[in-house]
Amino acid sequence: METRKSRFFYGYVVVVVAFFIFMAMLGGYNTFGVFFKPVQTELGWTREMTSAAYSITLLLAGALGIGMGRLTDKFGPRLVMTGCGFFYGLGYLLMSQITGLWQLYLFHGVMMGIGLAGAFVPLASTVARWFVKRRGTMTGIFLAGEGVGIIIMSLLASRLVTTIGWSNSYLLIGSVILAILIISAQFLRRDPSQKGLLPYGGSELKANGLNLVETGFSLHAAIRRRQFWLLFAMTGCFFFGVGATFVHIVPHATDLGISLVTAASILTVIAAVTIPGRILMGIAADRIGNKLVFIICFILLAAALFLLLAADEMWMFYIFAVLFGFAFGGYAAPLSPIVAELFGLISHGVIVGFIFLSDGIGSALGSVLVGRIFDTTGSYQLGFLISAVLCVIGLILTLLLKPISGEGGKND
């Protein structure tokens, strides 16, 4: 085991590569709101039918995230991310050819869902293994790739859709995404031992000859703890509003007479603010603790969603976007670190995957139910109100989250 301090730590390569993968996957995925109305209008589907594709993707990604976490724990992220990148990029490309609803659900829902399962869990678990100190900061940095991706992709998609149409736009963007994902995945390594290194600040992992002994809870042990289910429920409540917003904010704004390009700029502002949100909240998680960061994010998201109920002019949408973007960006930064803090690293990937399932369930329910409410009432008001109330419930659950006392390091 190489214990001397090298001039360059490969963990930083892992963080940069994770940044680009997250940028391509989540940036591309969150263009769905830009494509939403053009696709729906041309093919004659309702908003509930169209938004169901987004929900299928999230549900499948959440369910498969558990398996992707286990595969990452066993085989490492390079193999997992290569396979996921192939499915995701191919699904995005094939979206250019859809003519029927079943194709929308297959290409976007199933194929992109399989790919998206590799976005958060393998990358977050890998970064957690490379860093003990600065874990929150490094997690926040790689997650900031989503904000950069949304800025680039939403601006690009909105302009391409108005010039070359939605079909050609999917084809062009999908080609770029596929190349980024496959190439970037080849630089990932599961943990520092594959480079003969110790993790940065590695007091949590102990060197034993050439092996690293990981400690913590198994998935079986973790799911018997109250903290596990509080995290699961908190995350579901938070992402109900996130899913509803990302799918329906652009259609909602255009319903109020705002142009597509201007409405898409709401996503751009959200994305821009997620970048400092993730980095600053990642740093804050290292300094003030993960729980307090969650509390701040819930308060900001609740304020944003209540503001959205009254928003009818662009300046109001921009204030909403700043609050929403910072909260959304900040929430993800402490999620992987708090799993490591509460449950250790021995089954970190699969536990994060299980928590990520609640992200998928919440986002899926938010997007499809709010679409259903619009189809029934002709308004998004009730859907956005439900999102805000669930956010308040999530805040209450966060306040109940306590450390696991006297049981750390058990592998039962």
Helix H segments across 207-256? 219-222, 226-255
Residue 33 has pLDDT above 80, yes or no: no
Of 212-216, 346-350, 398-402, least confident by mean pLDDT is 212-216
What percent helix, strand, coil does the chain show, rounded to 5?
A: 80, 0, 20
- Give, to the nearest 10 degrees, the angle between helix 335-343 and helix 290-308: 140
- Give the pLDDT score at 90: 95
Residue 53 has pLDDT above 90, yes or no: no
Residue 213 has pLDDT above 70, yes or no: no
What predicted TM-score, i.e. pTM, was given to this entire model? Answer: 0.71
- Give the pLDDT score at 95: 93
Of 1-5, 132-136, 198-202, 355-359, least confident by mean pLDDT is 1-5
- Give the pLDDT score at 409: 44
Which of 177, 182, 143 lies closest to 157, judged by CA?
Answer: 177
Considering the chain, what percentage of its residues have pLDDT values greater than 70? 93
Q: What does 245-307 look like in DSSP terms, one character per residue?
A: HHHHHHHHHHHTT--HHHHHHHHHHHHHHHHHHHHHHHHHHHHH-HHHHHHHHHHHHHHHHHH
Domain locations along the chain: 11-399
- Give the pLDDT score at 292: 94
More confident residue, 352 or 94: 94
Main-chain dihedrals φ then ψ at residue 208, nearest 5 degrees: -140, 90
**C-alpha dihedral (398, 130, 150, 37), degrees to nearest 10:** -70
- Give the pLDDT score at 345: 73
Please answer whether residues 202 and 211 qualify as being in contact, where contact means their C-beta atoms are separated by less than 8 angstroms.
no
Of 257-261, 287-291, 300-304, least confident by mean pLDDT is 257-261
Q: What is the mean pLDDT of the chain?
A: 85
What do you get for the CA distance between the two ends of the chain, in Å? 28
- Give the pLDDT score at 16: 94
Confidence of residue 205 (pLDDT cuts 50, 70, 90): very low
Sign (positive or negative) of CA dihedral 54, 57, 61, 64: positive
Q: Report the alpha-carbon distance of residue 9 to residue 214 in Å, rounded.
A: 20
Q: Which CATH architecture has domain 11-399?
A: Up-down Bundle (1.20)
- Give the pLDDT score at 197: 73
Is residue 103 classed exposed, middle or buried when 0-12, 13-18 and 19+ CB atoms within 10 A define those classes?
Answer: middle
Would you give the DSSP letter of residue 98?
-
Confidence of residue 74 (pLDDT cuts 50, 70, 90): confident
What does the pLDDT look like over 314-347, one tens digit per residue? 999 999 999 999 998 888 888 888 888 888 877 7
Which of 28, 195, 196, 246 lies closest to 119, judged by CA?
Answer: 28
